[in-house]
Structure 1
Amino acid sequence: MVRIALYYILKIISKIFCLLPEKISYAIGDAIGAITWYLVPAKRKKMAVNNVILSLNIDKPSAVRIAKKSWTKFGPMIVEVLRFPIMRYNMNKYVTLIGAENLDEALKLGRGGIIAAAHSDNWELLGGALAQNGYKLVGVAQEQSNHGADRFMNEYRALIGMYVMYKYDVRNMFKMIAKGWLIGLIMDQDAAEDGIVMPFLGRDASCAHGAATIARHNNAPIIPIFIVKGPKRTHKVIIHKPIFVEKTANKHADIRKTTMIITKQIEDHIREYPEEWFWLHDRWKSVEHHQAIKSYTEGDKQNAK
């Protein structure tokens, strides 16, 4: 009952934020981000700061500033999601696409495509900006344990033009790509035992290989796309040149090689915009805790013989 009620509570809050002036809405979002930073457990903050230091090789004060900003951005991000019902009518006021010709070039092949994105800035807005600019996009979501929150988020993703699909629905992903759609995948989280172990920001991490696997199967392009903050509450969606899987007889090696290229693009983005990335996610946990398996890498060596 409580889970169902949350959906209606979020809808009411969304209605309020849509009625409030934009400046007041963002001011509330800034306050939420600043206040909730002090509620983050000290252990989680320490982990984030250490990860920044190890990844970027910077001093502690700078690392604390980056970790804090990567959290406080969630206040305005939440506000923007709550304001989707009105933002959708004038999306280009808030988001500028940079490098759209790269995406158009990839789609001209007629094979659909896979977007390789990251938890940078407001990643929910990234999908909406593409959809509102006429791109047919499937937003691949992680099903939430709270049904009310899950229903709300998927409804708002659909509201701004995305077709929503859960990440376990792989068969339908293949079908949608075959129809020429874009599949949006977030590629920067710890993939645990399902991933491929490779260097990420200087340390071994378990990296998701879904984009490379689907692209190899469908001969589809992979387009790295990230969103970053722009001036005066705006955002920029940066669209990179497409990546293609070099298909050989060694499937595992192909997937690993392509995943390394994607991972390098994500690394480069994070180094350029460190405050935009979500450092409070324990990105290296499965390798550090010996939960990720390295058999995939070993299999590459055996198959290459």
Structure 2
Amino acid sequence: MLYFIVKLLSRLACALSSATAKRWGGYLGCVAWKLTPQKRKKMAIENIRLSLAVDQTEAERVARASAVRFGPMFMEVLRVPLLLKQPLDSWISFTGAEHLEQALALGRGVVLATAHSGNWELLGAALAKRGFPLVAVVQKQTNDAMDRFINEYRRQSGMHVTYKTGVKEMIQLLGEGHIIGLLVDQDAGPEGVRTQFFGREASSPPGAAHLARMRQVPIVPAFITQEADGRHHAWLYPPVFVEKTGNKKEEIQQTTQVLTQCVEQHIRQYPEEWFWLHNRWKHGDKTETLALHT
């Protein structure tokens, strides 16, 4: 039942004008911010203050903007079928697409490293619509109806969808020349790699580095931002390669640190677009043994 309700909402959203959809998205975002627990708001504000070295007022502004934007983002996801019918350059532009093209030309596949910044769902849709053989590596939603809905829209854009547990499939798809899209910016728990993120210890996911090292493939950092006119812009950067040192753990840690720094640099430019409500530093002091001594 929930699946059909969301599909109906999607049809209604597609029938709205862009201005009306944006306005309603703004309303939803404001409601979401009001409903956000105070404890989580305080955590986000403190992390912003420490990370960006700003005062309390600015930290509160960034935290609120970061949360409120999820309303318009949700509306954009509901309107994906409409976007896919429009010319690609009518809703997104690209800088650095040649980096991804050149990485693919090596013939080994590519790992695409991105973050929960901007509307990352639209980044995947745009790359797939442009013709890149993108594989979206996703976390299975706890609600089956929502999982079915979002994956259906991902596939409509041309993406292949696999779950995080499908490592063997990822390796096979890399061998076939696909692009494996991974989100690399969230806390990875005690099993993660210890990195420096905004000057503080953080646990970072090593999956991108592991895959790249295993198959000797390039990692292309990529992010998406929203412009003042509502259109989006995709930023793709020169590839990162795993440097061979003879020490596997060191190679994974160093590569993960480079990717973490890429994410940090992007967030510094567009702080309002990152997901600050996530407790990114939760396990930063609990990964030393794994990262440095195994």
Structure 1 length-normalised TM: 0.94
Q: 1:151 aligns with which of 148, 151, 154?
A: 148
Residue 74 (str. 1) matches residue 73 (str. 2) = no
> Given that residues 26 and 76 in structure 1 are in contact (C-alpha distance below 8 angstroms), is that contact kept between their aligned partners in structure 2?
yes
| Matched AA of 2:183 | I
Residue 30 (str. 1) matches residue 60 (str. 2) = no
- CA separation in 2, counterparts of 1:166 and 1:83? 24
- CA separation in 2, counterparts of 1:278 and 1:8? 28
| Matched AA of 2:223 | F
- CA separation in 1, counterparts of 2:132 and 2:284? 37
Residue 293 (str. 1) matches residue 287 (str. 2) = yes
Partner of residue 100, structure 1: 97
- CA separation in 1, counterparts of 2:198 and 2:76? 30
Partner of residue 15, structure 1: 11
- CA separation in 2, counterparts of 1:77 and 1:83? 10
Alignment map for 1:254-265 (pairs within 5 Å): 254-265=251-262
Partner of residue 276, structure 1: 273
* RMSD, aligned CA: 1.1
Partner secondary structure for residue 285 of structure 1: coil
Give the deviation of 1:206 after TM superposition. 0.4
Partner of residue 55, structure 1: 51
Q: Structure 2: give runs of 5+ residues left out of the alignment.
A: none
User: Identity, % of aligned pairs?
Assistant: 45
- CA separation in 1, counterparts of 2:274 and 2:17? 28
Give the deviation of 1:97 after TM superposition. 1.1
Residue 172 (str. 1) matches residue 172 (str. 2) = no
Give the deviation of 1:70 after TM superposition. 0.5
Partner of residue 130, structure 2: 133
Q: 2:187 aligns with which of 180, 183, 190?
A: 190
Give the deviation of 1:294 after TM superposition. 2.0
Partner secondary structure for residue 134 of structure 1: coil
Structure 2 length-normalised TM: 0.97
1:42-61 superposed Cα distances (whole Å, 9 cap, x missing partner): 11100000000111111000
Give the deviation of 1:272 after TM superposition. 1.1
Q: Structure 1: give runs of 5+ residues left out of the alignment.
A: 301-305
- CA separation in 1, counterparts of 2:244 and 2:176? 22
